[in-house]
Amino acid sequence: MEYTKLGNTELNVSRICMGCMGFGDPTNGMHSWTLDYQHSLEIIKRGLELGINFFDTAISYQNGTSEQYLGKALKALASRHDVVVATKFMPRTPEQLNQISTQNHIETMLNRSLSNLGMDHVDLYILHMWDHRSNLYDVMEGLNNVVKAGKVRHFGISNCFAWQLAEANALAEREVFAKFVSVQGHYNLIYREEEREMKPYCDLKNIALTPYPIPHTPYPIPHTPYPIPHTPYPIPHTPYPIPHTPYPIPHTPYPIQCLSQWSFS
């Protein structure tokens, strides 16, 4: 297994991160194909044996049971100091906008995740999608508060544009808040939009990229309830083609191995 620092942080992580969306009670959530605890435990154990020390879950995965399975398995199989645990939270729903502040929402969701995981802190706390309904200052202050409280070591963002990430970290720098240290975006051999702006920006700022590839699956990917608004401004054609990699992908009969090797090149 190869290891690397997670962006600008001190976290030493395996280059392969185990995503935990497939773990959780199949009767308690949006997916009926998730694995029960015993089968999840076997996969986590094998991952640890192969050198994986980086695990990514979310409170939305099967209503928190993915977090519960992961926390229980790691407690049985590993020392807390030997693993890097990331979890994610969603922004407030429209119904919650007048019920709870952004800062209190972040703390409440984190406390639920810590309870599910059976841990006193997480290494990486990820905003699952850009929060379009909240003031950016409130979001960054709320995340900075949980870092100062010692419940989170670092925080990241998933599913956003490069300009949003740049704006957020610029605000954090002005206000002396902690910054986003990682980005989790959709990226694979077919969907390569992240190469246009996000990857160059993250390379410049040494922000970690932890993409989710969504390889071929027999399970349909559900549509998001948040449609992308139509814009009258088409994306201009660039005269700069994406260069080919000089590193050929070795032949493999397994698509996921091919995808992993391409991602590392």
Active site residues: 61
Which of 5-15 are b and which e, b meaning 16 or more Cβ less than 10 Å from the residue's Cβ?
ebbebebebbe
DSSP 8-class letter at 176: T
On the CB side of 202, how many CA atoms lie within 13 Å of its CA? Answer: 26
* CA dist., res. 113 & res. 125, Å (int): 10
Which of 178-217 are b and which e, b meaning 16 or more Cβ less than 10 Å from the residue's Cβ?
bbbbbbbbebbeeeeebeeebbebbeeeebbbbbbbeeee
* CA dist., res. 147 & res. 157, Å (int): 15
The tokens describing 98, both together, are 């007048």
* CA 111 distance to own-chain centroid: 18
* CA dist., res. 178 & res. 120, Å (int): 19
